[in-house]
Chain A
């Protein structure tokens, strides 16, 4: 199992669009995929038309009374499941804080997923918090959509520092440019010459495109209704690049797959 978190300190940068579209493309490859909507606003759940309410509530989930597996919902697409948003972030924070190892709470909650999924995409809420520290702990890579503006670059560099300062080097940092508007000269400038410090491993950028915005109306991954649009093609390229980065960085995932996989 590989865990990929769509993460940024900022909101409205394309995190959810990334998690939903890459999750869909991974499932198209034949992999078993889970998208975990960890943003209380529930945008990913909304795109997949899943009602955000978890029966029985998330409290019991974090107290290990229930397995995550019981609250997962199948989507309209084969191999692609969703774990709906039902945590108020504050709530999750408090519960994680309660345990003995607050930074590792998510890891034990996620353990049962191990033999059921090849990829878990976590759609995060924008922040640096205990929840995000947990996300760093469980993830193989952070996908960081970044709008090419000066301010965003500074935020990204904060994140890079944060990762180093906290020694979170097991997790691969994969920033890429998102919502790139070719009409804006600043966007063009930054995309063509990204600052060296960022050492961007991913070359693909996602263009700003109205088809992506339409996901809110269609309530479906981009590829299902505009497969040949520039943005959809960009997401496909992005997925290919992410896979090769993953293959390079870790020979095995932080979540070693057990050889004896069973059907659930």
Chain B
């Protein structure tokens, strides 16, 4: 069933008159009126909205209530769970029911945050058949958006929501016709959530870790780079409060990705900005990346903890608990340190100077060699060079190569990946997506290999530390040893998988595509200019 099932009730029509009108046309009963407060939830990056889902907690007066997950498109399907008083933030806070399983694949590790609240007065009509069985619901709602302090804001939103009952599609369709044709209601053309967000002045998708820029290929390289860097700076800033408040792990993650991309751009785009500028910010962002690293590392261990537990032999699993405690304690102190770093003069000066630099219009004439060239040309050169470097290094890897070589290759791949991603909007969409996808497969493999290496080393280190400080018994050390052995095994597995992934990446069709997009296109442009 996919017709729109929400209608606007015109201000001239009272709920009472509407109810009376319906009663004359169909057999129905009216449930008692309810005053309900509804809070809508989503993740900071709007994962639910993006997947066309609505998660709402409905309460009558008190804090306890029910949690509903519904699809914006398909009517009827609906998961509900009774909620205790506690606030919900993470999946783990929910009882293990259908709703949690459905949410898991959408929100993953992200925290649920309230995005809007309304208070509504709802009259529910139940359409009955000859057995007095409910065959459709019609909810007549008058709602007010609420501010964070609980005051109403904006105009009253008046809606009729048709909720079909499974197996009674004909009835629902008939009721829908009745509402529009006989009673003159108009389709609302969108979910209630949209109206509520609009009333509260919020735009869904106002944060995304994606770049979402459309660059003109002929733009000057310095101006185009500034646009990209500006966007990356905005992403960093948008995540700062979430890191300070430790809302979830992904704030720091997105922050760090933006920092790394910024650095990568500064390094890759040589001679686009003056050398002194380039050097200063390269150094500063490297610092920023360094100070945010340790907290992220621990986040990763904590996120993977369930996986780790599964890697250890069952009888040893409980013995990993002290490791978790250790990680959590460390995490707390590292985040505290991070917050202090955000308050330092160095950080604030960096951000202020960087923004001022990015806000400056590019000088008309620049002594810097690449500044005024088209971004397309500059990006082409860089990407082509990085591609060739990747191929050369990849070809040299064999079964005996030291881990260091794979590590270096991983870094080159990452640079290539960032360049492709940051400038993807100036290339044909299908081509670039395919390149990024294949590159990602190779990079995931190299990344996993590296992570497994680092993780087993760090865990061994932690194990020593826990032992030295006498914070756990021998079973814990054994469990960690067991875990490290599994990680090593997996690492070897990744190493074996490398060759297949690399072969796929280096295959002639891919090479031809790289050549066409990044080398020949450049030659064509030059030829055109010359002619």
**Which residues of chain A have a CB within 8 Å of any CB of chain B?**
28-32, 48-51, 71-74, 76, 78-79, 81, 118, 219, 257, 259-261, 263-264
- Closest approach, in angstroms, between the C-beta of B95 and any C-beta of chain A? 7
Minimum-distance CB pairs A-B, first 5? A30-B81, A73-B167, A49-B133, A74-B166, A74-B165
Whether the pair B97, A30 counts as a contact (CB closer than 8 A) is: yes
Whether the pair A74, B98 counts as a contact (CB closer than 8 A) is: no
Whether the pair B105, A260 counts as a contact (CB closer than 8 A) is: yes
Decide if B101 is an interface residue (CB 8 Å cutoff): yes
Proximity bits, B100-115, A CB within 8 Å = 1, else 0: 0110010000000000
- Partner among A76, A118, A264 whose Cβ is within 8 Å of the Cβ of B74: A264
Decide if B452 is an interface residue (CB 8 Å cutoff): no
Instruction: Jot down 8 A-B pairs with beta carbons below 8 A, ordered by A.
Output: A28-B82, A51-B131, A74-B166, A74-B167, A79-B78, A81-B166, A260-B105, A261-B98
The A interface is mostly helix, strand or loop, or mixed, namely: loop
Decide if B462 is an interface residue (CB 8 Å cutoff): no
B167: A residues at CB distance < 8 A: 71-74, 81
Whether the pair A261, B101 counts as a contact (CB closer than 8 A) is: yes
| Supplied contacts A118-B97, A263-B71, 18 more A-B pairs, CB within 8 Å | A29-B95, A29-B97, A30-B79, A30-B80, A49-B129, A49-B131, A49-B132, A50-B133, A51-B131, A73-B166, A73-B168, A74-B165, A74-B166, A76-B133, A78-B78, A81-B166, A260-B105, A263-B74
Which among B95, B98, B167, B168 has the highest number of chain A CB atoms within 10 Å?
B167
Q: Restricting to B120-163, which residues have a CB under 8 Å from any CB of A?
A: 129, 131-134
Complex: A118 Cα to B97 Cα, angstroms: 8
Give the interface size class of chain B.
20 to 34
Whether the pair B71, A259 counts as a contact (CB closer than 8 A) is: no
Decide if B371 is an interface residue (CB 8 Å cutoff): no
A260: B residues at CB distance < 8 A: 105
Decide if B204 is an interface residue (CB 8 Å cutoff): no
Whether the pair B133, A79 counts as a contact (CB closer than 8 A) is: no
The residue of chain A having its C-beta at the shortest distance from the C-beta of B66 within the complex is: A30
Complex: A161 Cα to B262 Cα, angstroms: 72
The residue of chain A having its C-beta at the shortest distance from the C-beta of B133 within the complex is: A49
Whether the pair B166, A78 counts as a contact (CB closer than 8 A) is: no
Complex: A89 Cα to B101 Cα, angstroms: 36
Whether the pair B98, A32 counts as a contact (CB closer than 8 A) is: yes
- Closest approach, in angstroms, between the C-beta of B375 and any C-beta of chain A? 40
A72: B residues at CB distance < 8 A: 166-167
Whether the pair B95, A30 counts as a contact (CB closer than 8 A) is: yes
Complex: A48 Cα to B97 Cα, angstroms: 24
- Closest approach, in angstroms, between the C-beta of A165 and any C-beta of chain B? 34
Decide if B99 is an interface residue (CB 8 Å cutoff): yes
Decide if B367 is an interface residue (CB 8 Å cutoff): no
B71: A residues at CB distance < 8 A: 263
B95: A residues at CB distance < 8 A: 29-30
Decide if B76 is an interface residue (CB 8 Å cutoff): yes
Whether the pair A32, B131 counts as a contact (CB closer than 8 A) is: no
Whether the pair A79, B101 counts as a contact (CB closer than 8 A) is: no
Complex: A223 Cα to B97 Cα, angstroms: 21
A28: B residues at CB distance < 8 A: 82
Complex: A236 Cα to B134 Cα, angstroms: 25
Decide if B77 is an interface residue (CB 8 Å cutoff): yes
Complex: A81 Cα to B168 Cα, angstroms: 12
**Which residues of chain B have a CB within 8 Å of any CB of chain A?**
71, 74, 76-82, 95, 97-99, 101-102, 105, 129, 131-134, 165-168
Complex: A50 Cα to B167 Cα, angstroms: 10
Complex: A263 Cα to B82 Cα, angstroms: 19
Q: Tell whether A263 pairs with B77 under 8 Å between CB atoms, given A30-B95, A32-B98.
A: yes
Whether the pair B80, A78 counts as a contact (CB closer than 8 A) is: yes
The residue of chain A having its C-beta at the shortest distance from the C-beta of B74 within the complex is: A263
- Closest approach, in angstroms, between the C-beta of B481 and any C-beta of chain A? 27
Q: Tell whether A261 pairs with B102 under 8 Å between CB atoms, given A30-B79, A72-B167.
A: yes
Complex: A51 Cα to B171 Cα, angstroms: 15
Complex: A163 Cα to B58 Cα, angstroms: 47
Complex: A263 Cα to B403 Cα, angstroms: 45
B131: A residues at CB distance < 8 A: 49-51, 219
Complex: A29 Cα to B168 Cα, angstroms: 25
B133: A residues at CB distance < 8 A: 48-50, 76
A31: B residues at CB distance < 8 A: 97-98
Complex: A213 Cα to B98 Cα, angstroms: 32
- Closest approach, in angstroms, between the C-beta of A53 and any C-beta of chain B? 12
Whether the pair A118, B77 counts as a contact (CB closer than 8 A) is: no
B132: A residues at CB distance < 8 A: 49, 219
B168: A residues at CB distance < 8 A: 73-74
B76: A residues at CB distance < 8 A: 74
Complex: A72 Cα to B77 Cα, angstroms: 13
- Partner among A30, A49, A50, A73 whose Cβ is within 8 Å of the Cβ of B98: A30
The residue of chain B having its C-beta at the shortest distance from the C-beta of A263 within the complex is: B77
Complex: A73 Cα to B422 Cα, angstroms: 51
A51: B residues at CB distance < 8 A: 131
Q: Tell whether A79 pairs with B80 under 8 Å between CB atoms, given A118-B97, A261-B101.
A: yes
Complex: A144 Cα to B101 Cα, angstroms: 30
Complex: A259 Cα to B101 Cα, angstroms: 8
The residue of chain B having its C-beta at the shortest distance from the C-beta of A83 within the complex is: B167
Whether the pair B101, A257 counts as a contact (CB closer than 8 A) is: yes
Complex: A264 Cα to B73 Cα, angstroms: 11
- Partner among B74, B82, B99, B105 whose Cβ is within 8 Å of the Cβ of A259: B105
The residue of chain A having its C-beta at the shortest distance from the C-beta of B70 within the complex is: A263
Whether the pair A30, B166 counts as a contact (CB closer than 8 A) is: no
Whether the pair B79, A79 counts as a contact (CB closer than 8 A) is: yes
A79: B residues at CB distance < 8 A: 78-80
The residue of chain B having its C-beta at the shortest distance from the C-beta of A50 within the complex is: B133
Complex: A72 Cα to B164 Cα, angstroms: 13
- Closest approach, in angstroms, between the C-beta of B404 and any C-beta of chain A? 37
The residue of chain B having its C-beta at the shortest distance from the C-beta of A260 within the complex is: B105
Complex: A51 Cα to B71 Cα, angstroms: 29
Complex: A79 Cα to B165 Cα, angstroms: 10
- Closest approach, in angstroms, between the C-beta of B125 and any C-beta of chain A? 14
- Closest approach, in angstroms, between the C-beta of A124 and any C-beta of chain B? 22
Q: Tell whether A76 pairs with B97 under 8 Å between CB atoms, given A32-B79, A259-B105, A263-B77.
A: no
- Closest approach, in angstroms, between the C-beta of A120 and any C-beta of chain B? 13
A118: B residues at CB distance < 8 A: 97-98
The residue of chain B having its C-beta at the shortest distance from the C-beta of A51 within the complex is: B131
- Closest approach, in angstroms, between the C-beta of A72 and any C-beta of chain B? 6
Which among B74, B76, B80 has the highest number of chain A CB atoms within 10 Å?
B80
A81: B residues at CB distance < 8 A: 166-167
Which among B77, B81, B166 has the highest number of chain A CB atoms within 10 Å?
B166
